[in-house]
Amino acid sequence: MQAINARKQFAANFSVISNSVLVILKLIVGLMSGAVSIIAEAIHSGIDLVAAVIAKYSVVKSAEPADERHHFGHGKVESVSALIEGLLIFFAAYLIIHEAYEKFIHGVKIDIIGAGIGIMLLSTAANYFISRYLFKVAKETKSDALDADAWHLKTDVYTSLGVFAALILIHFLKGRVPHVEYLDPLIAIVTAIWISFAAFQITKDAILNLVDTRISEEEEAVVKTAILENSDTFVDFHKLRSRRAGPYTYIDLHLVVSRDLRVDAAHKLTHHIEEDIKKFLRNTDIMFHLEPCNSKCKCCRMKCTKR
């Protein structure tokens, strides 16, 4: 578990550093050129930076063990972090649309396009590789915060690429095509709409985790398979329930066993099933409710009664 937490913290720190550099570069070039699309990207990256800082805090906090006030640990801090990040992206979209609208009203003037093209190309490449890395770590560690951070950067890849394409067109068509500069705020608005979709997905997933939505059907199938591999040691199981809190998964179920099964044998049985489940789902806590079989068979077919 310590290795997983260390990996999550390294990924979060890496995201903070990379976002800080990109924000500074985009802001400088955006202000020098007057390109609202670059300024919009600077705002977008600024929100990404805030999100990365939040993610960094949340992965550290979620790794703290259970305490007197939080008996189930701090895993949901990551879901709260993801929710905040989603709302921040919505706010960034609003700021971008507002700035683009001002440009439409008061006119567009863009200088030093070459520097803008360069910084957008750098941003696209950097965020592509960093987002892929964050998605990989998020999936392996089941981190909502890193997943939301990765989504931030993934949207930045497409929006930066769009701004890059717009600046290329403006550079070559300026003076030849009337009002071509208006591509700049238009691309900024498209950027805002695009990142709003990502914000919706992040916010939705965070809320689902906060309200204790069950784990995915694929994961539940894995759990059932692990339980049924031990079907010769119990009679039946039912009332399987699950929920997720950040990187942690909680499962409880009713396990029907022979009424003759001794307490120590029942404990050994549940421990064995739990270990089988954890082979497929790490960071999982399983609670068993044992029930005696109601059948009045003369001879129990379960092997567990022989232990």
CATH classification of the domain holding 264? 3.30.70.1350
Tell me: do 284 and 142 sit in the same domain.
no
Tell me: do 107 and 187 sit in the same domain.
yes
Tell me: do 61 and 160 sit in the same domain.
yes
Q: Which pLDDT belongs to residue 303?
A: 58
Q: Which pLDDT belongs to residue 288?
A: 92
Q: Which pLDDT belongs to residue 239?
A: 92
Enumerate residue ranges in the chain where pLDDT < 50: 305-307
Residue with structure tokens 């692990």? Answer: 226
Q: 118 CB contacts (<8 Å, ≥6 apart)?
A: none
**What is the number of other CB atoms lying within 10 angstroms of the CB of residue 248?**
19
Tell me: do 63 and 9 sit in the same domain.
yes
Tell me: do 38 and 182 sit in the same domain.
yes
Distance CA 141, CA 24 (A): 30
What's the Cα-to-Cα distance from 94 to each of 82, 119, 261, 263, rounded to whole Å?
A: 19, 23, 63, 61
The pairing of beta strand 236-245 with beta strand 248-257: antiparallel
Nearest CA to 229 among 285, 273, 282, 270?
273
**What is the number of other CB atoms lying within 10 angstroms of the CB of residue 224?**
14
Q: What is the pTM of this model?
A: 0.64
Q: Which pLDDT belongs to residue 254?
A: 93
- Containing domain of residue 120, as a range? 2-210
Tell me: do 60 and 169 sit in the same domain.
yes
First to last CA, the chain: 34
CATH for 68: 1.20.1510.10
Domain total in the chain: 2
Q: 170 CB contacts (<8 Å, ≥6 apart)?
A: 110, 113, 180, 181, 183, 184
| Torsion sign over Cα 103, 106, 108, 110 | negative
Tell me: do 181 and 43 sit in the same domain.
yes
Going by the DSSP 8-state scheme, the letter that residue 295 receives in this structure is -
Longest dimension (CA), the chain: 96
